[in-house]
Structures are given as structure tokens and as C-alpha cells.
A and B are shown apart, each in its own frame.
Chain A
């Protein structure tokens, strides 16, 4: 089985968020960039687990510039067999999806596993776009994935519960927490990652459907009213009379 895992580069969750160029660009100064957590912890690790169990190949794909090398090497150190980097700035989800779909078509993959949303744009759009470009079925928010005889059995999150569904491969799966248990690269993995192949390919086409006009930071903190722990009744009164929520 051939599995493709798209990985994104995002600012570390603890990063200070600031913008430059008249609030049109994220300020990368002093920011550490990491592999998008759900891409790494759930999508990539589940792909590696499936390969370990059933054989095949795990390929990671990334749309980004040369400075993404550390996260690609980390994916290889965790156990991906090879990587493809589309050498372009990932500015718009549709553009990124077309790049990944083009490589997916060439590689004759059986399965694509994406993470949940990226922690920068929180957009949750890449998986759906790739699936539609390939005309594949897709299931998102998947916390369990097993594959047998070309059929995937998946547990997906729905409002107030979960649903177990079956889908024939090829398909795209969007990962959710619990799909896999995060791993840490071991020394052997780190050493072998250095010699694993990373194909750098040029982007095809440049259709973009959206543009981010600008960013804004939220208004400053609200005014809090403190209530003494010895006077909890006052809280109930305020919630009723002032806030009018009870």
C-alpha cells in the first residue's frame, strides 16, 4: 500500500503572534517553526503504523521553500520512506491542494492521510480540496482507521458521538486525536533520515482562489469583576441582574 501524507510548516504553539508590512504578513522573527502537530502526531504516525503492519511505502509531501528542510527530515526520521517538496510558497489552500493532487496522481497512491486543521490558519480545507481534485471519497475527523482487502473501516466524530463507516480505497482520511500515539524519532531514524531521498519539484500552475488582505490582533483584555470566595451569592446575583445570562 502506498500512503501519501501532506505535512505543513507552522509556528510553534507558544509563538508570539505579530504582523508586519502593515499587518499583511506574519512576523517570523524569533519564531520556531514546527511540523503541524496533527500532521505529525496522528496522520504520519498512523501511516507509518499501517506500513509496519501491512508493508508498502509512506511518502511525505510538503509545499514550501528550502527552509522547510528540518521538518521534512523529522518526518523521514519518524519513519517516512521518502519526501517530495514542491518548491513554492504555500499562500492559498487551493494552490497547495492542486500541487499535492498533481503529485498524488503521478504516484498512484492508495491512501492520503492529512492532519486536522493547521494551527496557523485553522482552516481545515486542504484534505477536502485534495480529495475533490482526485475525485476520491474522503472522511474527516477520523480517530480510528483499519484497512483490510482494500476497504477502510473508520471511526469518525459526529455531533454528540461517533460513527463507524466503510469506504473503498483509494480515499483520503482526515486525522483526529486518538488515530495514533505520537512518536519521537530515535537515533537510528535520525541517522537514516539524512540519506533518504527528498525530491524537489517545481510547482505546476498558480491558480489561487483567495487572498488574505490583512490580519488583526484582538482588542485588549476585558474588564474583570472579582467576587470574594466568601460571597458566592453575589456571583449568582450579578449573573442574573447584570449579565442577564441566568
Chain B
């Protein structure tokens, strides 16, 4: 018996979402009194993988094969199913991130295992039955999914929990050699277009976000300046990305990214329910808006009713003072 976590590597590092999935897997394993095992496909540094021990992983199965470096949902499903069998996993955990969203339901069919997508809490077990909480209706409600199949699959909503790390703990890294045929490879990567030079939004601890209240793309300078001062990532609301004031990859909300930073500063965003769905897991929310009736204030911890064009420049100055003093 084991809990198996699917872990992804990007640019030589373990993805933040995968660290969370592995931590979630370890907590489930701890609750069940079994081992936390992780599996990694593609080339990776053994020391990087061993560090998964810090989030409670005991063993890492590593299919160290460059042919597995690119995500291919059909191939990965086969590999992950084989890893689940090899490790005797009764629970398989993945992140509810870009790749996990496609991989986990495929695995559910392959193993005929009940699947809970986007879990926000640890499962509660009664005998063989697990109850797992997830958000539904764009965060307007939650649902408890009941799964009683022998093998269960859970994908973890990114930024739903904060992994507690045991510094210096290491996991044993074992070679894993799944059997594959040429016909298992279905997806050929032709090119990759990464946005460089900024902090990836889903990884950021601090986020400064702005919306239509800014009146035009030419006014984003102060948002970028504030973000730069704070070491924060920038984000935006959907209407703003829809009219191309800001790129789509900055769009947070129901149809964009879900983030859960320590601090989310929303400037000139009214706070439609679809937007809140993407950010209401943030630890602290600050809302700056001219409209005291903006629904976002209901979800905020701190609010300033005021003009962004006056408040934000002041905030930059005040933050600079704070930084100089600390």
C-alpha cells in the first residue's frame, strides 16, 4: 500500500504545484499509516528529487528518460498507471494544474478509480470510503465528493495548502523503467513560447492586480512599479485581458488562473464572483476602489475607498519608506 504523487519538473526544478501535491500525498499517507511515494518522468537531477523528502516523501520513482521530458497525456497516463501498480498505490495524487487536469481523469478511466478534481482539503476516511472537499459553482459553494473505489485519485487545487517542510530530510531515489512502445508517443512539441523576466503568477507570494478602473493600458506603469518595489507579480481581471490591455496569462479568475498568494492587492477591480473565484484563497486581500459599493470590499481584509491614481503612487512611496526602514 502506498500513496503515489505525480511530480513534474520545469526548468530543472520541481513545480510549486507538484511540491503541494507531494505534500498532500504525504499527509494522506501519514493519515493512513502508509508510505508517501512520488513519481517523476523525464530527466532530473537526483539531488533535486531527493529533496522531496522535505515534504514527507519516502521514495521517488524516477523514469530518467529524455523521451519523457515533454508532457503527452496518453503516454503519461500509461506511465503513471504502471507506477501506481509498481508502488501498490491505493491513492494517486496530482496537481489540478495544466497537465494534471488532463492526466488525472485519464488515469481515473484507466484504473477505474474514482476521481476528485481540485481538492481543497485533505480527505476524510471512513473505512474504504473517502470524502473530499472541492469548490463548485466558481467558488460560490463547495461539495463533498464520496469515493469508494479500491484505488482513488485526487488532484489538488493549486495554492490550497501551504506545505510544511522538514529541512534536510531526503527521499530515496529509485530508477523506474516503464515499458513503452513507439506508438505510445502521440504529442510532438514544435516550439515553446515562455514569458520571461517576470515572476510566474501561480508561484508568487505577493500579487498586485488591476482592472478596468485603470481606464487604459497606458496607466499600468504605476502597477508595474508597485509590483517591482514589492517583488510581486502582476495580474489583471478578465475584462482587461479580453480587450488586450493586458496579456491573457495575467488573467486571474474563474476562466483564468487560480492563485493563493499571501497578499493580493486589487486596484480598480469591482470583484465579480468569477474574479473572486480565482483569488479568494489569498491570505490577505487589499481592495482599492473608488466605488464604496464594489462587491470586492465584501471579500477584502483591508480596503481603501479612493482614486487609484492618487492611492497607488502614495502606496509606492510608503512602501519605499517601509523597505528602507526594515
Contact = CB atoms under 8 A, between A and B. Distances in A.
A52 interface: no
Contacts of B300: 222, 224
B128 interface: no
B48 interface: no
Contacts of A209: 108, 112-115, 147, 149
Contacts of A225: 301-303
Given A128-B104, A209-B147, A210-B115, A177 B248 contact: yes
B110, B115, B283: residue with the most chain A Cβ atoms closer than 10 Å: B115
Nearest to A97: B109
B314 A232 contact: yes
A179 B87 CA distance: 39
B133 to A, nearest CB: 8
Contact of A224 (B103, B298, B315, B326): B298
A28 interface: no
B146, B304, B310: residue with the most chain A Cβ atoms closer than 10 Å: B304
Contacts of A121: 136, 143
Contacts, number: 256
B116 interface: yes
B245 to A, nearest CB: 15
A119 B137 contact: yes
A245 B112 contact: no
Nearest to B144: A213
Contacts of B67: none
Contact of B301 (A163, A168, A214, A243): A243
A89 interface: no
B97 A178 contact: no
Contacts of B113: 209
B215 interface: no
Contacts of B195: 160-161
A111 to B, nearest CB: 14
A246 B322 contact: yes
Given A132-B106, A161-B249, A225-B301, 16 more contacts: A94-B108, A128-B106, A129-B109, A141-B101, A159-B200, A166-B190, A215-B144, A218-B142, A222-B298, A224-B301, A227-B304, A236-B315, A236-B321, A236-B322, A245-B262, A245-B263
Interface of A: 11, 13, 17, 19, 38, 93-94, 97, 116, 119-129, 131-133, 135-141, 143, 153, 157-168, 171, 174, 177-178, 209-218, 221-222, 224-229, 232-233, 235-240, 243, 245-246
Interface of B: 10, 15, 17, 71-74, 77, 96-98, 101-110, 112-118, 131, 134-147, 149, 186-195, 200, 202, 206, 230, 248-249, 254-255, 262-263, 273-274, 283-284, 286, 297-307, 310-311, 314-315, 318-319, 321-322, 326
Q: Which 7 A-B pairs have the closest CB atoms?
A: A229-B306, A128-B105, A137-B186, A161-B194, A125-B105, A132-B109, A209-B114
